[in-house]
Amino acid sequence: MLYYSQIAGDSLKVEIVSDPEGATHVRLPDGREMAVDFQPALGEDLFSVLVDSQSHQVHIEPGENRGEYEVTLDGQVYTVSVETERQHRLNSLVPRTNLQSGEVQVKAPMPGLVSIVAVEVGQAVEQGQRIAILEAMKMENELRAPKAGTVKAVNVQAGQTVEQNKVLAVIE
Protein backbone atom coordinates (compact mmCIF):
# COMPACT_ATOMS: atom_id res chain seq x y z
CA MET A 1 0.00 0.00 0.00
CA LEU A 2 1.29 3.48 -0.87
CA TYR A 3 1.49 6.25 1.71
CA TYR A 4 2.35 9.92 1.20
CA SER A 5 3.92 11.72 4.13
CA GLN A 6 5.23 15.17 5.00
CA ILE A 7 8.06 15.33 7.53
CA ALA A 8 9.73 18.66 8.35
CA GLY A 9 8.61 20.08 4.99
CA ASP A 10 9.90 17.11 2.98
CA SER A 11 7.50 14.92 0.99
CA LEU A 12 8.05 11.20 0.99
CA LYS A 13 6.15 8.47 -0.84
CA VAL A 14 6.61 5.02 0.68
CA GLU A 15 5.19 1.64 -0.19
CA ILE A 16 4.53 -0.92 2.53
CA VAL A 17 4.42 -4.51 1.29
CA SER A 18 4.21 -7.94 2.87
CA ASP A 19 6.12 -10.84 1.40
CA PRO A 20 4.65 -14.38 1.12
CA GLU A 21 6.20 -15.33 4.50
CA GLY A 22 4.36 -12.44 6.21
CA ALA A 23 7.35 -10.15 6.73
CA THR A 24 6.77 -6.43 6.17
CA HIS A 25 9.01 -4.30 3.96
CA VAL A 26 9.10 -0.55 3.32
CA ARG A 27 10.15 0.61 -0.16
CA LEU A 28 11.49 4.15 -0.46
CA PRO A 29 11.39 6.32 -3.61
CA ASP A 30 15.12 5.79 -4.20
CA GLY A 31 14.52 2.03 -4.51
CA ARG A 32 15.86 1.04 -1.09
CA GLU A 33 13.84 -1.60 0.72
CA MET A 34 13.93 -2.18 4.47
CA ALA A 35 12.57 -5.06 6.54
CA VAL A 36 10.35 -3.60 9.29
CA ASP A 37 8.71 -5.14 12.36
CA PHE A 38 6.32 -2.76 14.16
CA GLN A 39 4.89 -3.97 17.49
CA PRO A 40 2.93 -2.20 20.28
CA ALA A 41 4.81 -1.89 23.58
CA LEU A 42 3.54 -0.65 26.95
CA GLY A 43 0.39 1.19 25.97
CA GLU A 44 -1.42 2.43 22.90
CA ASP A 45 1.09 4.99 21.66
CA LEU A 46 4.49 3.38 22.36
CA PHE A 47 5.95 1.00 19.78
CA SER A 48 9.01 -1.15 19.31
CA VAL A 49 10.24 -0.94 15.73
CA LEU A 50 12.90 -3.11 14.12
CA VAL A 51 14.30 -1.65 10.90
CA ASP A 52 16.78 -3.97 9.20
CA SER A 53 17.41 -5.65 12.60
CA GLN A 54 18.06 -2.31 14.34
CA SER A 55 15.77 -1.59 17.31
CA HIS A 56 14.02 1.78 17.77
CA GLN A 57 11.53 3.05 20.33
CA VAL A 58 8.72 5.12 18.74
CA HIS A 59 6.08 7.16 20.57
CA ILE A 60 3.16 8.27 18.34
CA GLU A 61 0.38 10.66 19.35
CA PRO A 62 -2.33 12.20 17.16
CA GLY A 63 -1.52 15.75 16.05
CA GLU A 64 -3.74 18.81 15.88
CA ASN A 65 -5.08 18.04 12.39
CA ARG A 66 -6.55 14.91 10.84
CA GLY A 67 -3.82 12.64 9.46
CA GLU A 68 -1.15 14.45 11.48
CA TYR A 69 0.97 12.83 14.19
CA GLU A 70 3.63 13.81 16.71
CA VAL A 71 6.27 11.10 16.40
CA THR A 72 9.17 10.72 18.82
CA LEU A 73 11.86 8.49 17.33
CA ASP A 74 15.00 7.82 19.37
CA GLY A 75 14.36 11.01 21.40
CA GLN A 76 13.81 13.28 18.36
CA VAL A 77 10.29 14.75 17.88
CA TYR A 78 8.81 15.03 14.37
CA THR A 79 5.46 16.32 13.10
CA VAL A 80 4.36 13.88 10.43
CA SER A 81 1.29 13.99 8.19
CA VAL A 82 0.26 10.80 6.42
CA GLU A 83 -2.20 10.12 3.62
CA THR A 84 -3.14 6.87 1.95
CA GLU A 85 -2.87 6.80 -1.84
CA ARG A 86 -6.64 7.26 -2.08
CA GLN A 87 -6.66 10.23 0.33
CA HIS A 88 -3.76 11.77 -1.58
CA ARG A 89 -5.59 11.49 -4.91
CA LEU A 90 -8.85 12.83 -3.49
CA ASN A 91 -7.10 15.75 -1.76
CA SER A 92 -5.41 16.68 -5.03
CA LEU A 93 -8.88 17.08 -6.57
CA VAL A 94 -10.27 19.33 -3.82
CA PRO A 95 -10.24 23.00 -4.83
CA ARG A 96 -8.09 25.06 -2.50
CA THR A 97 -9.54 28.43 -1.46
CA ASN A 98 -6.27 30.26 -2.06
CA LEU A 99 -6.10 29.10 -5.69
CA GLN A 100 -9.14 31.13 -6.75
CA SER A 101 -8.10 34.69 -7.47
CA GLY A 102 -9.39 37.31 -9.87
CA GLU A 103 -12.63 36.77 -11.75
CA VAL A 104 -14.25 33.35 -11.63
CA GLN A 105 -16.94 32.19 -14.02
CA VAL A 106 -19.69 29.91 -12.77
CA LYS A 107 -20.57 27.73 -15.78
CA ALA A 108 -23.32 25.22 -16.49
CA PRO A 109 -21.75 21.77 -16.10
CA MET A 110 -24.33 20.32 -18.54
CA PRO A 111 -27.27 21.51 -20.66
CA GLY A 112 -30.40 22.18 -18.66
CA LEU A 113 -33.06 24.54 -17.35
CA VAL A 114 -32.13 27.25 -14.85
CA SER A 115 -34.87 26.95 -12.22
CA ILE A 116 -33.47 29.39 -9.64
CA VAL A 117 -31.03 32.28 -9.77
CA ALA A 118 -30.11 33.00 -6.17
CA VAL A 119 -27.85 36.06 -6.61
CA GLU A 120 -27.89 39.47 -8.26
CA VAL A 121 -25.23 41.82 -9.58
CA GLY A 122 -23.37 43.63 -6.80
CA GLN A 123 -24.24 41.05 -4.15
CA ALA A 124 -21.47 39.82 -1.85
CA VAL A 125 -21.21 36.01 -1.74
CA GLU A 126 -19.30 33.55 0.43
CA GLN A 127 -17.46 30.54 -0.89
CA GLY A 128 -19.94 27.68 -1.22
CA GLN A 129 -23.00 29.96 -1.35
CA ARG A 130 -25.71 28.93 -3.82
CA ILE A 131 -25.56 30.81 -7.12
CA ALA A 132 -28.19 28.94 -9.14
CA ILE A 133 -30.04 25.66 -9.57
CA LEU A 134 -29.83 23.89 -12.90
CA GLU A 135 -32.33 21.13 -13.70
CA ALA A 136 -30.93 18.44 -15.97
CA MET A 137 -31.83 14.78 -16.49
CA LYS A 138 -34.64 15.01 -13.90
CA MET A 139 -32.16 16.17 -11.23
CA GLU A 140 -31.52 19.51 -9.58
CA ASN A 141 -27.87 20.57 -9.61
CA GLU A 142 -26.98 23.28 -7.13
CA LEU A 143 -24.18 25.50 -8.43
CA ARG A 144 -22.16 27.20 -5.70
CA ALA A 145 -19.65 30.03 -5.55
CA PRO A 146 -16.09 28.67 -5.88
CA LYS A 147 -14.77 31.64 -3.89
CA ALA A 148 -15.96 34.56 -1.78
CA GLY A 149 -16.40 37.84 -3.64
CA THR A 150 -18.88 40.13 -5.35
CA VAL A 151 -21.19 39.08 -8.18
CA LYS A 152 -20.03 41.05 -11.23
CA ALA A 153 -22.50 39.61 -13.76
CA VAL A 154 -25.56 37.36 -13.91
CA ASN A 155 -26.09 36.12 -17.47
CA VAL A 156 -29.24 34.01 -17.00
CA GLN A 157 -32.69 34.17 -15.48
CA ALA A 158 -35.02 31.56 -14.00
CA GLY A 159 -36.80 29.55 -16.68
CA GLN A 160 -33.98 29.92 -19.22
CA THR A 161 -32.54 26.87 -21.00
CA VAL A 162 -28.74 26.84 -21.23
CA GLU A 163 -26.09 24.80 -23.01
CA GLN A 164 -23.13 23.14 -21.33
CA ASN A 165 -20.36 25.62 -20.34
CA LYS A 166 -22.68 28.65 -20.58
CA VAL A 167 -21.39 31.29 -18.16
CA LEU A 168 -24.20 31.76 -15.65
CA ALA A 169 -22.49 34.30 -13.36
CA VAL A 170 -19.13 36.00 -12.82
CA ILE A 171 -17.68 36.56 -9.34
CA GLU A 172 -14.76 38.87 -8.63
What fold, for 2-92?
Glycoprotein, Type 4 Pilin (3.30.700)
> What pLDDT does 98 receive?
46
pTM for this one? Answer: 0.48
Residue ranges of the domains in the chain?
2-92, 100-171
- Spell out the per-residue pLDDT of the chain, length 172, in tens: 888 888 877 888 888 888 888 888 888 888 888 888 877 777 678 888 888 888 888 888 888 777 888 888 888 888 888 888 888 887 777 555 445 568 999 999 889 999 999 999 999 999 889 999 999 877 888 899 989 999 999 999 999 999 999 999 999 9
Does residue 20 sit in helix, strand or coil?
coil
DSSP 80-149: EEEEEHHHHHHHHHSPPGGG--S-EEEE-SSSEEEEEE---TT-EE-TT-EEEEEEETTEEEEEE-SS-E
Residue 147 to residue 98: CA distance in whole angstroms: 9
* Under 8 Å between Cβ of 100 and 170: no
Query: What fold is seen in the domain 100-171?
Result: OB fold (Dihydrolipoamide Acetyltransferase, E2P) (2.40.50)
- What confidence tens digit (pLDDT) does each residue in 44-67 have? 788 888 888 888 888 888 887 778
